[in-house]
Amino acid sequence: AQSVTQLGSHVSVSEGALVLLRCNYSSSVPPYLFWYVQYPNQGLQLLLKYTSAATLVKGINGFEAEFKKSETSFHLTKPSAHMSDAAEYFCAVSGARSGNTPLVFGKGTRLSVIA
Amino acid sequence: DGGITQSPKYLFRKEGQNVTLSCEQNLNHDAMYWYRQDPGQGLRLIYYSQIVNDFQKGDIAEGYSVSREKKESFPLTVTSAQKNPTAFYLCASSGQGVYNEQFFGPGTRLTVL
């Protein structure tokens, strides 16, 4: 079984500041991990994914995440926030090699960027 | 141009009515999913289908029904038994790739009048 906890339902940063969105997971099997972004009234778009090839994963729009097995974490970071980064972000997990099974999502973190 | 389409984008329903939300994909994906999104609750799985003519209940299936007669299509019916159907509904699909990445449609916002 898998589960995801996203710490902080709302994070606010200044434009140009570091973005850090936290995700901790629980999985009884080796996990695959995902970060998705959702803009208002739109579907989810994949930012990046961890599939065991490398622990530091780079995604779109300058985001990256580091898989830390010892901490069961997969935090999302961006060195410098832009106004266009304001959105809701979801962390998700699935069992590696589980085939087409539903992802388990966290409750999401809304990111606000202040000018 | 491959992707997932959902229609309509906005839907209004009177109490006691059944409504059907459309989801179509041209990605040749085997699996399709329906999620419900409410503010602060993330995505909750309603139903999913891993193959044509087969589907499984998710966490909140009560008051919903689905069919999977074609690989490309996975319509969701919100029945009158669903007591609080006002929400944002998202359809997704995934293919045979081992990473289980899901692709999402643009969503349908359902409002009960």
Residue of A42, A21, A31 whose CA lies nearest to A90 = A21
Q: Does the pLDDT of residue A96 top 70, yes or no?
A: no
Contact list, A32 vs chain B (CB under 8 Å): 99-100
Separation of alpha carbons B99 and B15, rounded Å: 41
CA atoms of B78 and B70, how far apart (whole Å): 20
Distance CA B24, CA B108 (A): 13
Q: In this complex, which of A44, A98, A100 lies closest to B104 when CB atoms are compared?
A: A44
pLDDT, position A1: 81
Going residue by residue through chain B, which has 113 residues, state the pLDDT in tens, using 9 for 90 and above: 679 999 999 999 898 899 999 999 999 999 999 999 998 888 999 999 999 999 999 999 999 999 999 999 999 999 988 889 999 999 999 987 667 789 999 999 999 98
Contacts of B94 in chain A (CB under 8 A): 100
Given this model, what pLDDT does residue B98 score?
62
Which residues of chain A approach chain B closer than 8 Å at the C-beta? 9, 32, 34, 36, 41-46, 49, 51, 90, 94, 96-103, 105-108
